Amino acid sequence: MAVTDPRKDPARNVPATLASLLDEGRALLGTDADAMIDLRQLVTGISGIDRARQIIDPEQSLSEAAATRLRRAFYDRAKGIPVAYILGARGFWRHDFRVTPDTLIPRPETEILLEWALELLSVDDQVTVADLGTGSGILAVCLAVERPRAMILASDLSAGALKVARENQQTIVPSHPIHWFQGNWADCLADECLDMIVSNPPYIPDDDPHLSTGDLRYEPRTALAAGLDGLDDYRVLFAEAVRVLKPGGHILVEHGFDQSAAIMALLTQVGFTSLITRSDYAGLPRTTGGHKPGR
């Protein structure tokens, strides 16, 4: 379906009701449930009108400027651009995080990883925790909020991602310093300096057809795909983790729903023990952890 850029149709850049704008959005995106979720999110994010007010008062008028921004957002979504990139933000845990095409879009499954880390760390623990491959900084920032006595380190190979992560820290938890490093996993860290590693590495095989569909088309490929089996970065990460974790230190990672056995095997090969896999909200095995022997 051809999509007309609203900037090239001056007749449409006029004040309109919310209902008429939603009709325009449906004409571009369709009328199924997913399309309506996208439309409602875009209306809330751009106009500030929450879902309840959208339903209660659909005939409310929007300013010309708001109508133009919404039409532009509908057009961008019709082209396939993810809602999170259009709005520049995505909710995670209890916070709204800035995201850009330099970063992955936060997903609910990663909250399982965060919850597990928080279970292992008490509020009073003075420990050192690293979020390796931090992306937009969601894990590092949330850990800093929830465990203020911990020292939080975070690394990423992408300068663009680290810029976004720093901005999220300054917005959400400016009083807690997070130590940011540009590098490949733990290569910039000293031996046995960490009590815990949390990480959500790339885990999609390079030839997976899903990389060419949906939102994944717009997310950074280096943060999604990792070799023929999707496990290349885990091999590097786990070898580094043995070096930088203190004896008794924990590693917790997210992975694909069908990769738990392979992840456990890789962790075992480098010496991690007490391995456990946890499932996500859909009952799929998505996080695995273990600890380095010695304590």
Per the annotation, does 156 bind a ligand?
A: yes
Q: Give DSSP secondary structure letters for 73-134.
A: HHHHHHTT--HHHHHTEEEETTEEEE--TTSPPP-TTHHHHHHHHHHHS-TT---EEEEET-
Per the annotation, does 47 bind a ligand?
A: no
Per the annotation, does 185 bind a ligand?
A: yes
Per the annotation, does 100 bind a ligand?
A: no
Q: How far apart are CA 67 and CA 14, in angstroms?
A: 7
Contact 92, 115 (CB under 8 A): no
Within 10 angstroms of residue 115's Cβ, the number of other Cβ atoms is 13
Backbone torsions φ then ψ of 88, nearest 5 degrees: 80, 15
Per the annotation, does 135 bind a ligand?
A: yes
Per the annotation, does 134 bind a ligand?
A: yes
* CA distance between the termini of the chain: 62
Backbone torsions φ then ψ of 182, nearest 5 degrees: -95, 120
Per the annotation, does 279 bind a ligand?
A: no
Per the annotation, does 200 bind a ligand?
A: yes
Per the annotation, does 293 bind a ligand?
A: no
Continuous H helices in the chain: 18-29, 33-47, 51-56, 64-78, 83-87, 110-120, 138-146, 159-172, 232-244, 260-269
User: What is the enclosing helix (H) or strand (E) of 151?
Assistant: strand 151-156
Burial of residue 189 (CB within 10 Å: 0-12, 13-18, 19+) is buried
Question: Which residues contribute to the annotated binding site?
Answer: 133-137, 156, 185, 200-203
Question: Which residues contribute to the annotated binding site for S-adenosyl-L-methionine?
Answer: 133-137, 156, 185, 200
Question: Which residues contribute to the annotated binding site for substrate?
Answer: 200-203
